[in-house]
Amino acid sequence: MRAWGCRHLRIFSSGAGVRATGALATAPLWECRWLRAEMNEWLDILYRYCGEVLSGDSASIAQLRAAGFDCSAGQWSFFLPALHVWLANLTPTQAPLDYPAFLKQLYASDFNERLARQGAQIVIADNRGQVSESLYRLQRLS
């Protein structure tokens, strides 16, 4: 059985189907903004920006530079804590995602597979021994 949710709603999935418990359990699942937003919105935004960087979109690159990222056409370097804060500021309509949950969802996602279809990947550019201290980089596949 899989379980996910927030403090207002827990979703349970098993071979017997899906059931919900909690204060929002009577609401249709597609109306639970938290469930839709938290699970997809920030990943979709990150994926969109990666695509724009890869295509050399000057407006997106300028936005990323203004946010303090090292970015140029086809390449974007970042630390995960800074990426987390930046994404949280871009998704103010959703419940805040704490940093450990952000990492868990990022690592559990198919993000690098999606990027590979665009001919790119995120790599560790400078391994400093800790996930939060290492520098990551979006780059084209070599």
Q: In terms of pTM, does the model score above 0.85?
A: no
Closest CA to 112 of 138, 135, 88, 133: 138
Closest CA to 6 of 43, 36, 35: 35
Phi-psi region of 50 (alpha: psi -120 to 50; beta: other; left: phi over 0): alpha
Confirm if 102 and 46 have CB atoms less than 8 A apart: no
Number of domains forming the structure of the chain: 2
Say whether pLDDT at 128 is over 60.
yes
Strand partners, 9: none
| Statement to judge: residues 80 and 101 lie in one domain | yes
Strand partners, 12: 3, 19
Domain extent, residue 36, equals 32-140
Say whether pLDDT at 129 is over 50.
yes
| Statement to judge: residues 2 and 57 lie in one domain | no
| Statement to judge: residues 77 and 27 lie in one domain | no
| Statement to judge: residues 76 and 98 lie in one domain | yes
**Rounded percentage of the chain residues whose pLDDT exceeds 70:** 68
Say whether pLDDT at 5 is over 80.
no
Give exposure, 86-109, as e/b (b: 16+ Cβ within 10 Å). bbbeebeebeebeeeebbebbeee
For tokens 């920030």, the residue is: 42
Q: What angle do CA 7, 10, 16 make, to 5 degrees?
A: 175
Instruction: Select the highest-mean-pLDDT range: 22-31, 94-103, 109-118.
Output: 109-118
Residue 72 three-state SS: strand
| Statement to judge: residues 22 and 66 lie in one domain | no
Confirm if 47 and 111 have CB atoms less than 8 A apart: yes
pLDDT digits (tens, 9 = 90+) for 30-81: 333 333 334 568 899 999 999 999 999 999 999 999 999 999 999 999 999 9
